[in-house]
């Protein structure tokens, strides 16, 4: 058996760096927060312990702000984000993560450990990092 026979975990392929935004921020402020080169989404912070994690995708901004000719400085993140969002466990096998993404037509998801977001994983990460030979 080779090293590929072991189950690769989401934590091994995820991006541990991600940008965070408050739901009350404007879309213009959210865009300014996208610091990381590979950022295609922002994690929307929980307001309190009973709130859920949210996510704002570039595609959400394109469809709900740009295409509708809305002013980014007049639209709040909470108006267009996805909340609650499906999350994946850091120790989930990548093949199950890929199945989950396929089943729910997802392109990326926050990665959770002990109730906190520790990264973001995308289909691209699963394939390019998880299937390296």
What are 16-64's pLDDT values in tens digits?
A: 999 999 999 999 999 988 876 667 889 999 988 899 999 999 999 999 9
Q: Contacts for 111-114 with beta carbons within 8 Å, 24 or more apart?
A: 111/10, 111/11, 111/14, 111/87, 112/53, 112/87, 112/88, 113/11, 113/89
CB 41 within 8 A of CB 110: no
Task: Please report, for the chain, the start and end positions of each structural domain, with discontinuous segments joined by +.
Answer: 3-128
Encoding tokens for residue 130?
A: 């998880």
- pTM for this model (two decimals): 0.86
Kindly report the number of other CB atoms within 10 A of residue 114's CB atom. 6
| pLDDT at res. 121 | 96
For 78-121, write each residue's pLDDT tens digit: 999 999 999 999 999 999 999 999 999 999 999 999 999 999 99
Which of the four CATH numbers 3.10.580.10, 3.20.170.30, 2.40.110.10, 3.40.50.720 does domain 3-128 have?
Answer: 3.10.580.10
**Rounded Cα gap, residues 26 and 78, in angstroms:** 9
């Amino acid at each position: 058996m080779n090293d590929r026979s072991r189950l690769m975990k989401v934590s091994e392929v995820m991006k541990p760096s991600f940008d965070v935004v408050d739901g009350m921020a404007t879309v213009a402020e959210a865009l300014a927060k996208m610091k990381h080169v590979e950022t295609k989404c922002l994690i929307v912070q929980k307001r309190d312990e009973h709130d859920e994690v949210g996510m704002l995708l570039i595609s959400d901004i394109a469809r709900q702000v740009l295409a509708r000719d809305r002013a980014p400085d007049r639209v709040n993140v909470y108006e267009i984000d996805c909340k609650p969002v499906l999350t994946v466990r850091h120790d989930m096998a990548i093949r199950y993560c890929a199945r989950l993404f396929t089943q729910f037509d997802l392109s990326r998801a926050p990665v959770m450990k002990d109730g906190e977001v520790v990264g973001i994983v995308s289909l691209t990460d699963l394939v390019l990092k998880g299937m390296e030979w």
